[in-house]
Amino acid sequence: MPHTVDPETMPTVVAKGPSGVPPTAEEISSLLTTIFTSESSQQSLDGAYALANLLIQGAGVAGLLNYNVLAETRKAASDKKNGAKRESAMLIIGALFERFPREFPLSEVVFLLHDGGVFDLALDALADKGAVVRDAGQYAIDALFGSLSPEAMVNGLLPALERYLSKGSGKWQGFVGAYKLVEKMAVKAQLGTGTMEEERQKDILREAMGKTLKEFIPIVESGMHDLKNEVAKQSLKTMTALTTLLSNDDVAPRIPLLIETMEKPSAQTLQKAIHALSQTTFVAIVTSPVLAMLTPLLARSLNTPATPQETLRQTVVVVENLTKLVHDPAEARTFLPKLQPGVKSVKEGASLPEVRELATRALDVIETAMKDNDVATGAISKTTPEEVLAVLNGKIQEHGGLTGFGDAKFQDLSKKFIAEMVREDINVRMHDRVPGCIDPYLRGRDQVRQASPEDPNEIEIVNANFSLAYGGMLLLSHTNLRLLKGHRYGLCGRNGAGKSTLMRSIANDKLEGFPPQDQVRTCFVEHNQGEDANLTIFEYVSKDPKIAEQGKEHISEVLIEFGFTDGPEGRQSQPVGSLSGGWKMKLALARAMLQKADVLLLDEPTNHLDVANVKWLQEYLKSHTEITSLIVSHDSGFLDEVCTDIYHYEGKKLVCYKGNLADFVKVKPEGKSYYTLSASNVQFKFPPPGILSGIKSQTRAIMRMTNCSFTYPGAAKPSLHDASLSLSLSSRVAIIGGNGAGKSTFIKILTGETIPQGGKMEKHPNLRIGYIKQHALEHVEMHLEKTPSQYLQWRYANGDDREVFMKQTRILTAEDKAQLEKPIDLGADFGARRIETLIGRQKWKKSFQYEVKWVGLLPKNNTMISRETLLEHGFSKLVQEFDDHEASREGLGFRVLEPKTISKHFEDIGLDPEIANHNEISGLSGGQKVKVVLAGAMWNNPHLLVLDEPTNFLDRDSLGGLAVAIRDFKGGVVMISHNEEFVGALCPEQLHIADGRVVSRTNNAISLDRFEDSAANSPSAPGTPATGSAVTSAAPSAVNSGDEGAGELKFRAKKKKKMTRAQQKERETRRRLRHIEWLNSPKGYPQARGFR
């Protein structure tokens, strides 16, 4: 949605007029004559200042238009016979440039735009044969440059320079001067260490100039090939300065090579530049300046007939990688049409199939990027000058129009100029500068009407201006964070925008301009689960000296308020490591309350919290009106319930919107992704689960837990008691319960992480399970030095999943090892033998039999022994290990552990292949690490996906992609989640667990309208519960279908029916005819095999 200026806050428009009596035409004419006929330069300069002062005091901007001052000056400047008049003309222009913009900024329109302006006269004077004229011309240029604001430079001076450099005629000294000015502007825009206001002006200039590079780079590049050596040298300096506007760390190392390619264009330099770009890992967002720099080179490579195939391959790869990182569709539609025809010709005409395939992919990415889907992608629409002009014209008409501003043509030009300057400020989110682009140009400063004041009862506790960077990447640039006491701010933005980094900087007292801890006490509450695990809860809280000062009784009372009971058997005496994820989050909140924080920094506070505790947290935050909260959460219901304001990341700025998330979406429709599960931004694609032998029905049980119980060592009561569950390929089961109810223990038994101490666990021997733990990062915390690709190669290097071998059900205990050393005697003169290993397996009746290799005997002495016999003799883990190997081998049957396949797999899971191949896991965000874990779990094509709190760490876009992938997955899914939206959209079957027991099983309808692709016809507005569109699951789970799963889990292939003699004769006839047909076929025709 465009960012328009609120009409109520637009200034009243009244022309600022001169303070004295207008001079007569004769006075002006006489003064001009005096200046042109002066005997010395100083007299001419004094007369020029007198003329400027007379016009300022008596006529204003209109005096520049009505007294023919500029016309007479232009005439004198072109007098080739009189050097003194040319010098006097430059002094007049210099005096006007120096003094008029300070009093009448609208004069910039006269000097730069109206009827071509007069700035070109000063540039032409640089080529004058008289040194005094050249000096006077330089004086005029410097005077105007020093008086212009960043907005005026971009919208007034740059167009004037573009016109001058684009004209075919002109002196080379003038071109050098123009190029120097462009260089000077680019240098002025570079980041520095100036004051806050100086750096803000640089931000505006840098952003605005970056948008003009598409016009200026071709102009400057042509100057690099000018026949005049001075012009070529200055153009090279200017191009080098312009490249500093790119602000892209990926391209920055290649800039010298790119400039060399422009300076010395040839096939060799072009190929060298393309090769360097193809070796670049693009991860930073690609913006208009980067596209302006690279598009001409890429287009030249694509459109040159003599470009080698290898260079074409590299070019289309670079085009694809760049396009994926263009987040603004408007920028894509500006530049990509220049590349699209070239990529299309490569797709159709490249000689190598690989190049054509890559071009096809690049073309698809280009077409997707150019679609008009700003809202769907969350891109921020830019305000246009026409939108600003519409508001400006309305306000001008309300106040009687403009007077004293020349003719209608000049008025229109002036309003357009003002609208363009306002547009620049709005698009870089510096709204406080908007009055400065209107008031000085159209009215007196004493008539400014300020915006309506805020509630006087509001107490401001933070008002910080700052910039924020992380790892060399600028996250926020000269933005403002203002917090009012008692307000609860939701912090929203795309993944990687820097939300957690901002809060961590505040907590560590490292944010510029934020009050120190002794003035505003802040406390960072995050999902940190591993700290001080051996301390009791009371000891953990009391170790903070400031908390300990409050006394043991008060600390205990606060802990009780949070649900931590006191006494020897109470929760306060339990070690921190024994708490579930939800209780650890409550402990962190209790600790924050005891620290008496003024500002609570909550990073995903609802992670690990059950529904009841989320409700409690909502009420707690709303009831404590003395505490200010800054919240990062992807739970839309939570943000709707607690937030009073929303801070949104927009173009490296923080923009505040009043109201909760629903109110924010009304203003910013792109925020609707917080309410729907959408795969439009991040798409996950899970591999198909594959075939399970003996399983012909989606509802046939493939895993069964029967009356299982488990008690943790040292615990007083079982964590799980008498739990049962049956699962099939169609299962969609959610396990619901409070924190500490036993849900994770249930999952651990289900996946073999833990061995049940009572009951029975059965599963299909070839069943493959993909499992993500509650603390998902445990999967990769031992591999932080590896890249995601290296982690996957390590995990499946030997054809088996190494993490499976770490489960308790797979690790050989001392008893298991002793059992392997015992000989067994199977009778029938078999003799006592010791098992060395299992080397094969085949179907046998309703089960399997295994080929056993004996210690000290040759392979010819191997024996086939049934599964039941091996289990009876205590070799269950040996059998399970071989079953895992066979299951993994089947799952990896068509998976090759090579970079190309691995990259495609990570791309399907939503992780950029470049990040997967080149970035260490230690440098990834929490959400990216979860994607690595998910990719590892899905690599061997599991039949059953088990997720413990899958919504933790994932941002909203990734959550939507995961939900769509689970919905479309062809295997079974079991999950624990407190996210009602996520569970309600995916799981019709729900098991409710309390105190370690399955207390109820429900079969609910699922709400498909929570998916964006199913919500088009839903009448619900954002933020309303989607109860009216629930539908019954199309594929019922096997949890409640006991008809196919009541007996033992026996899996056998369908018995082949014996053929009759007639059928055998028919088969022989068919084979004979097929063989004859093959004999009569052309040479090379493949011989048919098998039966018809």
What's the pLDDT score for residue 1017? 39
Is the pLDDT score of 295 beyond 80? yes
pLDDT at residue 369, as a whole number = 80
pLDDT of residue 234: 93
By C-alpha distance, which of 190, 192, 166 is closest to 179?
166
Whole-number Å distance between alpha carbons of 190 and 373: 33
Strand order in the sheet with 522-525: 522-525, 599-603, 628-632, 488-492, 645-650, 653-658
Fold of 460-674: Rossmann fold (3.40.50)
pLDDT of residue 237: 93
Lowest mean pLDDT across 517-531, 643-657, 735-749, 927-941: 517-531
CA distance 466 to 478: 5
Three-state DSSP state, 484? strand
Instruction: Give the pLDDT of residue 444.
Output: 39
- Residue 481's DSSP bridge partners are 464
pLDDT in tens, 125-149: 888 888 888 898 898 899 888 888 8
Q: Which range, 56-60, 538-542, 1004-1008, has the best average confidence (pLDDT)?
A: 538-542
Give the model's pLDDT for residue 749: 87
3-state secondary structure of 974: strand
Distance CA 665, CA 1023 (A): 10
Report CA-CA distances (Å) from 907 to 355, 359, 585, 868, 901. 20, 18, 32, 43, 10
pLDDT at 265 over 80: yes
Domain 460-674 and domain 814-889, same fold? Reply is no
3-state secondary structure (DSSP) of residue 992: strand
Please enumerate in sequence order all residues whose Cβ is within 8 A of that of 533, keeping only pairs 6 or more positions apart, or say none: 575, 576, 577
- Is residue 488's pLDDT more than 90? yes
3-state secondary structure of 679: coil
DSSP state of 576: G
**Given CA atoms 415, 417, 423, 429 in this order, what sign does their dihedral have?**
negative
The candidate with the shortest Cα–Cα distance to 602, out of 621, 619, 576, 615, is 621
- Work out the percent of the chain whose per-residue pLDDT is above 90: 5
Q: How far apart are CA 60 and CA 51, in angstroms?
A: 12
Ranking 393-407, 755-769, 1063-1077 by mean pLDDT, the lowest is 393-407
Copy the structure tokens of residue 81: 């016979």
- pLDDT of residue 657 exceeding 80: yes
- Residue-wise pLDDT for 956-1001, tens only, equals 667 777 888 888 888 999 988 776 767 878 888 888 888 888 887 8
Lowest average pLDDT, out of 847-861, 918-932, 1007-1021, goes to: 1007-1021
What pLDDT is recorded for position 1014? 56
Residue 422: what pLDDT? 80
The answer to whether residues 319 and 339 touch, using CB atoms and an 8 Å cutoff, is: yes
**Distance (Å, whole) CA 842 – CA 317:** 47
Element (H, E) at 1036: none
Question: Which one, of 282, 275, 233, lies nearest residue 258 by Cα?
Answer: 275
Return the bridge partners of 975, or none: 734, 947
Strands 488-492 and 628-632: parallel
**What is d(CA 337, CA 366) in angstroms, rounded to the nearest whole number?**
9
Half-sphere exposure of 664 (CA within 13 A, CB side): 28
CATH T-level fold of 249-283+286-326+329-376: Leucine-rich Repeat Variant (1.25.10)
Query: What DSSP assignment string belongs to 261-296?
Result: HHHS--HHHHHHHHHHHHT----SPB-HHHHHHHHH
pLDDT at 157 over 90: no
Classify strands 1030-1031 and 1006-1007 as parallel, antiparallel or unpaired: antiparallel
Is the predicted pLDDT of residue 607 greater than 50, yes or no? yes
- Is 1056 a residue whose pLDDT tops 80? no
- Return the pLDDT at 754: 82
Report the pLDDT value the prediction gives residue 645, as an integer from 0 to 100.
92
Instruction: Please say whether the beta carbons of 218 and 296 come within 8 A.
Output: yes
How much is the average pLDDT of 319-336?
Answer: 81
CATH class of 703-802+899-1031: alpha beta
Q: pLDDT tens for residues 182-216?
A: 999 888 888 776 677 777 778 888 888 888 888 88
* pLDDT for 528: 55
pLDDT tens for 743-797 read 888 888 888 778 888 888 888 888 888 888 766 566 677 788 888 888 888 888 7
- Please report the pLDDT score of residue 1018 as a whole number: 41
Whole-angstrom distance, CA of residue 708 vs CA of residue 722 = 5
Which of 116-120, 257-261, 525-529, 980-984 is the least confident region?
A: 525-529
CATH T-level fold of 814-889: OB fold (Dihydrolipoamide Acetyltransferase, E2P) (2.40.50)
DSSP 604: S
Q: What is the mean pLDDT of the chain?
A: 78
Q: Are 669 and 1 in contact (CB under 8 A)?
A: yes
Upper half-sphere CA count for residue 80 (Cβ side, 13 Å): 1
Copy the structure tokens of residue 561.
């308020």
Question: Is residue 400 very low, low, confident or very high in pLDDT (cuts 50, 70, 90)?
Answer: low
For 838-870, the pLDDT digits (tens) are 877 877 777 788 888 888 788 777 888 888 888
Nearest to 774 by CA among 631, 925, 584: 584
> Residue 551 pLDDT more than 50?
yes
What is the C-alpha to C-alpha distance for residues 748 and 1086, in angstroms, rounded to an integer?
52
How many angstroms from the chain centroid is the CA of residue 400?
48
Q: Which residue has the higher pLDDT, 306 or 432?
A: 306
User: Using alpha carbons only, what angle is made at residue 742 by residues 609 and 562, rounded to the nearest 5 degrees?
Assistant: 40
Q: Could you tell me which residue, 449 or 835, shows the higher pLDDT? A: 835
The band of 458, judged by pLDDT with boundaries at 50, 70 and 90, is confident
289 pLDDT above the threshold of 90:
no
Return the amino acid letter for 933. Answer: V
- Our measurement of the distance from residue 301's CA atom to the centroid of its chain's CA atoms, rounded to an integer in Å, reads 30
C-alpha pair distances (Å), 762 with each of 562, 722, 818: 40, 15, 25
pLDDT greater at residue 325 or residue 890? 325
pLDDT > 70: what percent of the chain?
Answer: 81
575: left (phi > 0), else alpha (psi -120 to 50), else beta?
A: beta
Is the pLDDT at 1019 greater than 60? The verdict is no
Domain ranges of the chain: 249-283+286-326+329-376, 385-447, 460-674, 703-802+899-1031, 814-889, 1057-1092
- Predicted pLDDT at 593: 79
Token pair belonging to 990: 């729900």
pLDDT at res. 473:
64
Asked if residue 163 has pLDDT above 70, the reply is yes
The confidence score (pLDDT) of residue 1089 equals 52
Which has more confidence, 503 or 817?
A: 503
Taking 80 as the threshold, does the pLDDT of residue 430 lie above it?
Answer: no
